[in-house]
Amino acid sequence: MKVLFAAGGSAGHVDPALATAEALKDLSPTASITFMGTNAGIESKLVPSAGFPLLTIEKLPFPRRLSISSLVWPMRAFSNLQRARRIVRDFDVVVGFGGYVSAFGILAAYLQRVPRIVHEANALPGMANRLAARLGAVAFVSYPRAEKQMKDARLMALPLRKSMQAAPMDQSEAKQFFDVPVDLPTVLIVGGSLGARRLNAMVSKMVTDGGSLPYSIIHSLGHDADLPEASSRYRPLPYIERMDVALSAADLVISRAGAGAVAQISRFEVPAIFIPLWHGNGEQGANAAPAAGLGAALVLNEDDALESRLLTEVNRLIGNSTELSQMKSAYAKLPASLHSCTGAHEMTAEIIAQVRAQVR
């Protein structure tokens, strides 16, 4: 069995692919697993470090406005598609998780008549996965809202890495892992794998102006960010490899609302303040809506008042253990597809079923 995962651009696309690949390797050790991505995206670091080979195409996001580069995009896209076709023809099934890498992989698989599967993690499906569903890919979604927008889609939890499937670590041990005070509340701040400049700047100001903070901060700034000076109550990091430990340590998390981040936070039931990044089709706001609607999270819009509102809400929540407990309990009311850790195993079973169907 030869399986190609087409995923790249951000950890939100790559992590669920890696989670599925790891589950598939456990269930079928003889399976040949390869990734298709780019040399420029985060997949160029995450995939090799996970032990899987990476075949590359050009980094070529979809143009969203008219420019000189958008005029030559069709020629570059055609070349990229031909490269993808040469790659996918050697595989039994192609599995995509959205984004431009997945789009080229799934379209190439359609042209080469290779079975294809996609998973849409966001509440509002992206263009790549909507196209994939129309081209006959077996489609899965995490959000009931997305189920209504993609042809013949079925609900399935987002595949999570092994560490994210385990039970949370003891909170004191998790805080010790990051060397933050055990006797203080901990705020985890995550801007996403690519960072969030404004969020990072606000955190820096919180730390600088806050004096002796009544809580500690674990802060993931992004791979390319300059790290500020650490202190006993502030731990800046470029990227958090053990997000399971960080979420176990956290009493409150501040995060963008990418599908992967929301799924991980919901899995560990951490009270959250989501600050959606308003790009694309506005999917981050839609991703945060179910948890916010149940009272498990707050949603703050990125406007001029964000900095003062964020600091006010953090101080209010950290000082209110009853409200934090109620927020944590509210996650249990989410639909199973938004709260489960079984997605990787379910996707693996579907991959095996698709390959077996071709052999018959």
Q: What's the average model confidence in pLDDT over 183-195?
A: 81
Name the residue range of residue 221's domain.
166-338
Classified as helix, coil or strand, 292 is: helix
359 pLDDT band, cuts 50/70/90, is: low
84 and 173 inside one domain: no
Position of tokens 């929301």?
262
Count of the separate structural domains present in the chain: 2
Contact 39, 181 (CB under 8 A): no
112 and 178 inside one domain: no
Taking only the tens place, the pLDDT of each residue in 247-290 is 999 999 999 999 999 999 999 999 999 999 876 677 899 999 99
Q: Which residue(s) pair with 131 in the sheet?
A: none
223 and 201 inside one domain: yes
Instruction: Name the amino acid, one letter, at 360.
Output: R
151 and 205 inside one domain: no
CATH number, position 332: 3.40.50.2000
79 and 149 inside one domain: yes
207 and 132 inside one domain: no
Q: What's the average model confidence in pLDDT over 119-128?
A: 92
Res 75: pLDDT: 84
How far is residue 267's CA from residue 194's CA, in Å, rounded to a whole number? Answer: 22
293 and 198 inside one domain: yes
Counted residue by residue, the chain has a size of: 360
181 and 240 inside one domain: yes
Taking only the tens place, the pLDDT of each residue in 95-119 is 999 888 999 999 999 999 999 999 9
Report pTM. 0.89
As a whole number, the mean pLDDT across the chain is 90
158 pLDDT band, cuts 50/70/90, is: very high
208 and 245 inside one domain: yes
280 and 156 inside one domain: no
188 and 329 inside one domain: yes
Q: What's the average model confidence in pLDDT over 309-314?
A: 91
Q: What's the average model confidence in pLDDT over 220-231?
A: 81
